Structure 1
Amino acid sequence: MSCTTLLIGKDASYSGATIIARDDDTGSGRYDPKRFVAVHPDDQPRHYRSTLSHVEIELPDDPCRYTIAPNVLPNRGILAEAGASERNVAMSATETIAVNERVLAADPMVELRPAVGEPGDADYQPEQPGGIGEEDIITLVLPYVHTAREAVQRLGDLLEQYGTYEANGISISDVNEIWYVETIGGHHWIARRVPDDCYATVPNQLGIDDFDLADAAGEQRFYMGSADLREFIEENNLARAMKPAAAAGFAGTAASPDHFNPRTVFGTSTPKDHIYNTPRAWYMQRCLNPSEDWDSPAARYTPISDDIPWCRVPENKVTIEEVDYILSSHYQDTPYDPYGTLGTPETRHRYRPIGVNRTGHMVAVEIRADVPAAEASVMWVSFGSGPFTTVAPFFANVDDTPAYLRDTTKTPSTGNLYWDNRLIAVIADAHWFENYNAVEAYGERVRAFGHRHVAGTDAAFAKAFAADVSATDADVVRTLEDANAAMADYLQKQTAALLADVLYTSTNLMHNAFFMSDRWQ
């Protein structure tokens, strides 16, 4: 699927928390309704069979509870997409990327091959399952790990054993670290840790721009990857862009250096990227480092630059509001805004926006270090097209989620967050300027209430459980579920009010509108 990822290291975040956030955008030709659910250990499969690739995997018998934002329809598998576990490990899977033909020749994708003929025929060939993919990753990894590093290694082991049928990037975090994993061909992978004082931006393009083979094979402070990565590169002549040993800060020999740029070795760079991918990275970094020159003819980076850094230090610590703004953005204050007045009709539709009509949800998982572990993970959730909605916080360590987010219907209806926001977007879009103030005010109210609600829950939690040695896990979970229910109740009332507002405004602007007061007497 197409999507956009923003990762915020703990020293770069406003709260001292790690934050991983991602838009999940439905592919062309369909819309996938989304929901927000908790998965109990008893509901976790022990024998897993992928819907799309038919790969079958035996799973451990000790899963933990976790909360996810999957598809409603099961036709393409679970597609958990974003999740956080009771152990405070979070994942967002996946970011669809691309690897080049040389990689695919050396390590082909593991694709499902249907059976040929019938059993008993002389030329019968049984079905060959494919590898794992986006639909599987969170289900296979998140319930079984205790740290982000452990999750990276488990995912890497699964990729090496079963392979994958698609190129993807996966975000993984805990309270201390954020890791970003990219699949390389059918069975290889690389991972890089986001520096604590940095953010990382990833459109649908292989993003990691530096890799240290020595660290990956040794201490693994900032890099991990397939054990045979160096040999894979050398044996398949992939190293055309390796930096020479003489370059400052790079070790190794000219034939086998330790540092290299994965984008050039493994990735692609096409005119399509300059329409679909690089402009999104450019705009995200423009928002978080605004004092730099992004627009003049002398600008270091432009919307079509192929060398925009994967990560960098922001000018100010990044807030949830900025994450929400960026991942719902449409090139505001530039000639490329489809709702704007700058530029020309051509420039306003030149590049693929971040917040598009096809967005199913955006989830920002914040794992906090300054509260008890039981309430550390907060999932800031929005459903529908980003420019017309907003995030709201929900605690992840629960047995159940509010019906307003959980019980999304398969077909359009009101009374659930996904379809309410889809209806708001399609009504308000045609009359952007007339509806924008109402949408903006809705977002401000919900986010302000959300911050106040989280702080109030923290205070109540501390008062209730700090000295209560008899408190059980069930008591903690019930408290967090009550908090989520209150948040959902407020969100539902505000969303219903916004729907009524934009419906009234847009109805008055219909082409067949007529009022007696319009007629001159």
Structure 2
Amino acid sequence: MYNQVESIKLRGGKIMRTTKLLPGLVAFAAAMGMGIAANACTTVLVGKDASTDGSTLASRNEDVDTSWAKHFIVHQATSNGPTQYVSKDNNFTVNLPAQAQRYTSTPDWQQIDGQNQFGEDGINSSNVAMSGTESGTTNSKALKADPFVKDGLAETSILDVVLPYITSAKEGVQYLGHIIETKGSAENNGVIFSDKNDIWYMEIGSGHQWAAVRVPDDMYAVIPNQNMIGKLKLSDSSNYLASPGITNFVKSHKLNGYKNGTVDFALAFGTNSKSDATYNRPRVWDGQRILTPSKKQSITTKRFSMFMKPDHKIGVRQIEKVLSSHFTGTKYDSNGKWVGGYRPINVPTDVESHILQIRNNVPNDIAAVQWLAMASPATSAYIPFYTNIKDTPAQYKLGTDQPDAKSAYWTYKMTRILTDPYKDVLISKDVTPIKEVVNHQLDMNLENSDNHAVHLNGDDLVNYLTEQNQMNADYAQTQFQLLNQKLIQDASRLTKIVQNKDL
């Protein structure tokens, strides 16, 4: 009944035009007690001293639609001279440097006139990672003072016009900041930059105003679709950066958050509404209760600390637990009869989840790993992809909004779909055991390939890493294809049992 009805569609908080709205998305929005136009995505950041192996870890769930394939591609380095980039989405225009580094990305399956859209996350040849964006909402007073720019930089283009041209996380903030100041932003966005030493989280609060904070090495952050950066200590440029004149801007426009010459960015530009109380803050509560269970907090807390110390060191599997959570094990569990109407981290509209790891315990040529889980991280596997490669696995360059038997996205999406009718039974009985086996094997494969790769260099190394990525992709997908066959059988048996009981 929703076909060919012009509607709006979730995209990290952005309102997009489309001619199709899936019933599952409508049902999800209704269950959440919200309109269709809503924010999405959840971010988890882990400083190097808070991680299990000294890596920096920057991660995010990308939430879009209930059936919207993502691809995984690599763009090779180029030196074609000055290039003018023009977004086919909103006509944003910017001149780009002559030299562009190799970088990876996970664009939408759908292009506009051959141009990739929503690159979202990747790592470049300087081992700088970027993830964009964590969508936010600007309060009306700040928006009136500095409106968004219709043809300004949007999430559609943000990765492709920044990541190929930066050599450190901090430089990423400064580079993007200059674009926002001169060209303007089309949206409120949170953007992550990381390298082997630092993670910076940047928030674009209005058309030309932004701020960024460095994640403390011994802490982590869980960030929903709400501005989280608090008091700006702009005299400490090693840990805080912001658009020029931001203090005078906030003061002169009488925005919230100004006091004694300092600015609280979240108060000045963000929101803290009833919607945030059900849609955003509960996700911070859920992530912090998982990583710091010793800290007892209420889900109704009005403002959570942006940075927390974990009770134990955090690795890829702990981040996976957070990004897969639906208030798991609490009375708010959205897989059961939950209360409060709180929006969980893991939702049906997950299209991909990434963990961008820059390691400090291996050579630079193999230090960057882009862990990628297609569709829902709760019913998928994070595949460790090296980014010093010449190509990506074949099945990660396939898939549309229509089901198929070959693409990585639709293999993992089918696992989610097949478990939906009997989540509590099938996930614990079928999915979790396979995930544990696959995760263990992938971890062993990464360790073994690291040990072999240290003896290689140049093209031999790039070719080997590319082959290892394909091997891991094939292995995991085969295991999940077999799992899906078992899920069909088990779901059918459960349906028969339920029907017999009803009779």
What is the CA distance between 1:110 and its match in structure 2?
A: 0.4
Q: Deviations over 1:371-393 (max 9, x none)?
A: 11111100111011232122121
The equivalent residue for 1:95 is 134
The equivalent residue for 1:57 is 94
What is the CA distance between 1:507 and its match in structure 2?
A: 1.7
Q: Tell me whether 1:403 sits opposite 2:388 in the alignment.
A: no
The equivalent residue for 1:264 is 267
Q: Deviations over 1:80-105 (max 9, x none)?
A: 01111111000000000012111111
Residue type at the aligned position of 2:128: V
Secondary structure of the 1:16 match is coil
Please give the residue correspondences for 1:447-462 in structure 2 after superposition, counting only pairs within 5 Å: 447-462=439-454
1:229 counterpart (240, 246, 250): 246
What is the CA distance between 1:46 and its match in structure 2?
A: 2.7
* 8 A Cα contact 2:62 2:353, kept in partner: yes
* 8 A Cα contact 1:160 1:188, kept in partner: yes
What is the CA distance between 1:157 and its match in structure 2?
A: 0.5
What is the CA distance between 1:511 and its match in structure 2?
A: 5.0
* 8 A Cα contact 1:324 1:390, kept in partner: no
Secondary structure of the 1:234 match is helix
Residue type at the aligned position of 2:177: G
- Calculate the TM-score normalised by the size of structure 2: 0.88
Secondary structure of the 1:154 match is helix
2:479 counterpart (494, 498, 508): 494
The equivalent residue for 1:336 is 332
Moved >4 Å (runs of 4+): 42-45, 511-515
1:281 counterpart (281, 284, 299): 284
What is the CA distance between 1:47 and its match in structure 2?
A: 2.4
* 8 A Cα contact 1:172 1:178, kept in partner: yes
Gaps of 5+ in 2: 1-11, 13-39
Please give the residue correspondences for 1:26-41 in structure 2 after superposition, counting only pairs within 5 Å: 26=64, 31-41=67-77
- Calculate the TM-score normalised by the size of structure 1: 0.85
Partners in 2 of 1:43 and 1:415 — Cα distance? 35
Residue type at the aligned position of 1:486: M
Structural RMSD (CA):
2.0
Secondary structure of the 1:20 match is strand
The equivalent residue for 2:106 is 69
Q: Tell me whether 1:375 sits opposite 2:366 in the alignment.
A: yes
Partners in 2 of 1:98 and 1:410 — Cα distance? 28
Residue type at the aligned position of 1:273: D
What is the CA distance between 1:18 and its match in structure 2?
A: 0.3
Secondary structure of the 2:162 match is helix
The equivalent residue for 1:249 is none
* 8 A Cα contact 1:182 1:206, kept in partner: yes
Secondary structure of the 1:67 match is strand
Q: Percent identity?
A: 33
1:384 counterpart (375, 388, 394): 375
Q: How many residues align?
A: 459
Residue type at the aligned position of 1:11: D
Q: Tell me whether 1:12 sits opposite 2:15 in the alignment.
A: no
Partners in 2 of 1:159 and 1:413 — Cα distance? 40
The equivalent residue for 1:431 is 422
The equivalent residue for 2:212 is 191
Secondary structure of the 2:221 match is strand
Please give the residue correspondences for 1:162-177 in structure 2 after superposition, counting only pairs within 5 Å: 162-177=183-198
Q: Deviations over 1:143-187 (max 9, x none)?
A: 011111111110000111110111000010001100000002101
Secondary structure of the 1:212 match is coil
What is the CA distance between 1:514 and its match in structure 2?
A: 8.5
Secondary structure of the 2:50 match is coil
Q: Deviations over 1:282-303 (max 9, x none)?
A: 000000111222xxxxxxx322
Partners in 2 of 1:414 and 1:406 — Cα distance? 13
1:79 counterpart (118, 121, 126): 118
Q: Deviations over 1:342-367 (max 9, x none)?
A: xxx351x7211111000000000000
Q: Deviations over 1:212-270 (max 9, x none)?
A: 1222xxxx1100111111111111112x4345xxxxxxxxxx3x24xx42221221111
What is the CA distance between 1:209 and its match in structure 2?
A: 2.3
Q: Relative to 1, partners in 2 of residues 1:242 and 1:188: Cα closer, same or farther, differing over 3 Å?
A: closer
Residue type at the aligned position of 1:234: K
1:322 counterpart (296, 318, 326): 318
Q: Relative to 1, partners in 2 of residues 1:489 and 1:43: Cα closer, same or farther, differing over 3 Å?
A: farther
Residue type at the aligned position of 1:237: K
The equivalent residue for 1:485 is 470
Partners in 1 of 2:352 and 2:426 — Cα distance? 21
Partners in 1 of 2:97 and 2:287 — Cα distance? 39
Gaps of 5+ in 1: 112-129, 244-253, 294-300, 466-470
Q: Tell me whether 1:291 sits opposite 2:294 in the alignment.
A: yes
Mean CA deviation greater in 323-332 or 439-448: 439-448
Secondary structure of the 1:366 match is strand
2:61 counterpart (12, 15, 23): 23
Secondary structure of the 2:266 match is helix
The equivalent residue for 1:124 is none
Partners in 1 of 2:205 and 2:373 — Cα distance? 31
